């Protein structure tokens, strides 16, 4: 790879890493709790909200997306994951609320991704003329890198969810095996005691009259 091509790809990587149009957050939602996050968004901005419950309980939460005037834009009840795209009507603080109030003992680990606005073009590619072959290739590589980053995020979420389920299953198997072992020991000891009573020699009783 020559120096020009290496520098060109490095610019693309920086553009992907420095993109400020996406807010990703992983947080713990306690049982019987509700957490809200606020984002100041300009009017007529295209946004996408994506969430997924990684661990906890039945992997479900209640979700609400509220406009600055408290109007409900989006709502989900006991949902495990979803994605919603919307365009803002007014400028102000938009609230994203996650509720676990229906759960009394199970807390959840929730992943949220809020993309605000369109993806910014690569440096030097914001013109209105026809793109050159180099610019077309750069744009293709840029989109491919974004797709790879998105796939990596979802893969990490699925890996975390699978690992948590495996740990829960392993814990259940451990306690079930422990209970079975205790039951076997109790039954075995009880059988030994019963058999011991069957084969133990009883002394004959003798009655004597006094006087």
The CATH number assigned to the domain with range 20-120 reads: 2.60.120.380
pTM of the model: 0.60
Taking the domains of the chain in order of start, what are their residue ranges?
A: 20-120, 130-198
pLDDT digits (tens, 9 = 90+) for 82-117: 889 999 999 999 999 999 988 888 888 888 888 887
Structural tokens at position 53 = 């419950």
pLDDT digits (tens, 9 = 90+) for 7-31: 333 333 333 334 446 788 888 899 8
- Taking phi first (over 0 means left), then psi (-120 to 50 degrees means alpha), and beta for anything else, what does residue 108 get? beta
For 55, half-sphere exposure in the C-beta direction (CA atoms, 13 angstrom radius) is 17
pLDDT digits (tens, 9 = 90+) for 127-176: 555 567 776 777 677 677 777 777 777 777 777 777 777 887 888 899 99
What is the pLDDT, as a whole number, of residue 132?
72
| Letter string b/e over residues 109-146, b meaning 16 or more CB atoms within 10 A of that residue's CB | bbbbbbbbeeeeebeebeeeeeeeeebeebeebbeebe
């Amino acid at each position: 790879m020559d120096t020009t091509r290496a520098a060109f790809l490095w610019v693309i990587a920086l553009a992907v890493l420095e993109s400020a149009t996406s807010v990703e957050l992983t947080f713990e939602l306690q049982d019987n709790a509700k957490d809200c996050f606020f984002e100041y968004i300009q009017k007529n901005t295209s946004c996408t909200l994506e969430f997924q419950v990684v661990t906890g309980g039945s992997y479900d939460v209640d979700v609400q997306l509220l406009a600055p005037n408290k109007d409900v834009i989006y709502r989900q009840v006991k949902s495990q994951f979803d994605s919603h795209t919307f365009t803002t009507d007014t400028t102000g603080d938009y609230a994203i609320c996650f509720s676990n109030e229906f759960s009394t003992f199970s807390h959840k680990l929730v992943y949220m991704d809020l993309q605000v606005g369109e993806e910014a073009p690569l440096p030097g590619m914001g013109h209105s003329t026809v793109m050159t072959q180099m610019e077309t290739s750069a744009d293709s590589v840029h989109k491919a890198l974004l797709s790879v980053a998105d796939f990596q995020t979802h893969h990490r979420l699925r890996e975390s969810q699978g690992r948590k389920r495996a740990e829960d299953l392993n814990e259940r198997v451990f306690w079930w095996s422990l209970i079975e072992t205790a039951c076997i020991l109790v039954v075995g000891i009880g059988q030994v005691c019963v058999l011991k009573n069957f084969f133990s020699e009883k002394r004959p009783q003798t009655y004597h009259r006094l006087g």
